[in-house]
Amino acid sequence: MHYRSLIESAIKQALHNKYIWLLGFFAALLGNGAELDILINTIASYSPPLSGPDYVPAIFQSPLIPTIARSALIIISSPSEFITAAIIFLCASILAYSAFVAQAGLIHWALNLSSGHAHVKKHITAGIQQSGRVIILHLVHLGIMLLCVSTIAFSLIGIFKLAGILSPQSSAIIFSIVLLPLGLISHVLRKFSVIALFKEKKHTIGAFFYSFKIFSLHWKQSLEFIAVLLCATIVISLAYMAALIIILFPLASIGIVLYLLDISTPGFIILGATGLLAVAGLFIFGAFWATCTHNVWVKFYEHLKIPIKTKFKERIEHFLSFHISRS
């Protein structure tokens, strides 16, 4: 498995199928897993302040049902707050649902690339049909991740507290250290689950357990791959942003010069246009890269069926050179 060739192939296919960037836009708009953040933040904005120890993150400080109940009482007590909350929650739900459908649609597109060009409507329809299962899989995986994080982190925090060396800073570090690897593993499991829905024609429960089976068999390669993909994302993102700055810098300079020369209206228009172009460029790149990453995950999943026989030391050496050989 040559990681770099997988990424290069995904980039070429994304450039060749620009119509699918529409799904990539919605998938990138809310990110991987962040489609739930907008719902959580919406509820949290109307929630009463949570009380608890300083070293405990807000999500663990208060039971879920009492918090929702108190939030509902606060909202109902004010009709204007209720209307505002309803509108915001409706918009947040639509965006979150669109993100789930987009991610499922991108995976369906990547799995059917060999069948030739298909209209984006076909992939949207496939995403909608599987949206309920996709949402359930995401929620279950994220719930398990939070349960594992809280169990491990609270145990470590208890040890630190008994030792008398606990501080808000150390507790934050503990949660970060525990959350990072478990978050990455949860990300891999979610991708495997959704791919299994389409590729293996699994039911929701079957896809859920199948993701653990695949990860347990190929956990080293999966972690290696996600590390490579993260590095590629950082490098390509920085390169794109640098190119965007270089392209837009002359236009922005003209606007600044005009503004300093008291020709404010044209200068303001040029600066505004530059800002809009920059934002549009970032959205386009996000849509493009989301399309690429979902395609790469599908390619990686399909390549896992070919057993890797290289030793761990050799695999690490090949990993550093973006290459894994097969014998």
Helices (H) and strands (E) in the chain, counts: 12, 0
Position 42 scores a pLDDT of: 44
Range of weakest confidence among 58-72, 94-108, 155-169, 215-229: 58-72
Residue 78 burial (CB count, 10 A): 11
pTM for this model (two decimals): 0.78
Task: Map out the domains of the chain as residue ranges.
Answer: 1-20+218-327
Position 75 scores a pLDDT of: 60
DSSP 55-83: TS-GGGTS-HHHHHHHHHHHHHT-HHHHH
pLDDT tens, position by position, 16-46? 988 899 999 888 875 544 444 444 444 444 4
pLDDT tens, position by position, 236-283? 889 998 998 999 888 888 888 887 887 778 888 888 899 899 989 988
Greater pLDDT, 325 or 287? 287
Position 242 scores a pLDDT of: 92
Residue 289 and residue 284: Cα distance in Å, rounded?
A: 9
Sign, CA torsion 26/31/32/37: negative
pLDDT tens, position by position, 82-138? 677 778 778 878 888 888 899 999 999 999 887 666 688 899 999 999 999 999 998
Q: Is the pLDDT of residue 170 over 70?
A: yes
